[in-house]
Amino acid sequence: ANPNSPSGTMISPGEISKIASQVDGVLVIDEAYADFADNNCLSLVEQHDNILILRTLSKSYSLAGIRFGFCIAQESIIQGMMKVKDSYNVDRLSITAVVAALDDQKTMRANVEKIKETRQYLAQSLQELGFYVYPSQTNFILAKCMRGVSAHHVYQALKSRKILVRYFNIRRLDDCLRITIGTREEVEILLRNLKELISNNHAKSKVAYCP
């Protein structure tokens, strides 16, 4: 996945191109988050007959409910896929919605720009609170908790306040929270609650601190 989830980080098209040259087989690049990034690998399709790019309407186009994605590759790969494709096609209502959405780049770009502005604001605010923030090219931020603060406890405390962020009980991620960029108002509510939980006053914020 490039940009990647849950890190939010991205590998440059130059690096991907090198990998594609070295791979003996098809390199599938999941670009679900590409519209939120500064760059993408679309142009590599022309140079590499073994690159296959996946896109979805579920993220930047806000159309997760129509269940539509597509892929971009050279004709030889697409022909191979057609050989094994099921006879059932995408439904007509989804196609109609997708065509309308793709025709309206302006709405998508406006939403993406709003999300990127809020992403910048959230990243800076989290850093000021003491989190380590991984550079995000997506519509979420991966933030590492400061020493002594349990990400799991913060996650649970936020959840009890009806604020849902993602916690991964996985090695190397269990000190992090993945936070989707909401509206500016939602981000303000999150930050207000995080400040309460992670205030320097240990007595007041037992919830957030490890013993």
Site for ligand PLP, residues 27 to 46, rule: CB under 6 A: 30, 32
Contact between 59 and ligand PLP by CB under 6 A: the answer reads yes
The alpha carbon of 143 is separated from its chain's Cα centroid by a whole number of angstroms, namely: 13
Please, which residue, 51 or 208, has the CB nearer to ligand PLP? 51
Burial 122-151 (b: 16+ CB within 10 A, else e): bbebbeebebebbebbbbbbbbbbeeebbb
Using CB under 6 A, which of the segments 52-60, 91-99, 116-124, 175-183 binds ligand PLP?
52-60
Closer residue to ligand PLP in complex, CB, 59/153: 59
Report the residue number, 116 or 178, with the smaller CB distance to ligand PLP. Answer: 178
69 binds ligand PLP (CB under 6 A): yes
Work out how close the CB of 5 gets to ligand PLP at its nearest, in angstroms, rounded to a whole number. Answer: 5
CA dist., res. 193 & res. 152, Å (int): 15
Distance CA 78, CA 63 (A): 24
- Residues 33, 57: contact at Cβ < 8 Å? no
**58 touches ligand PLP by CB under 6 A:** yes
Least distance CB 70 / ligand PLP (angstroms): 10
- When asked if residue 56 is in the footprint of ligand PLP (CB under 6 A), the reply is yes
**Given the rule CB under 6 A, which of 7-15, 51-59, 127-135, 200-208 is the region that contacts ligand PLP?**
51-59
The least CB distance from residue 156 to ligand PLP, in Å, is: 24
Binding to ligand PLP (CB under 6 A) within 119-158 occurs at none
| Residues within the interface to ligand PLP (CB under 6 A) | 1, 5, 30, 32, 56, 58-59, 64, 69
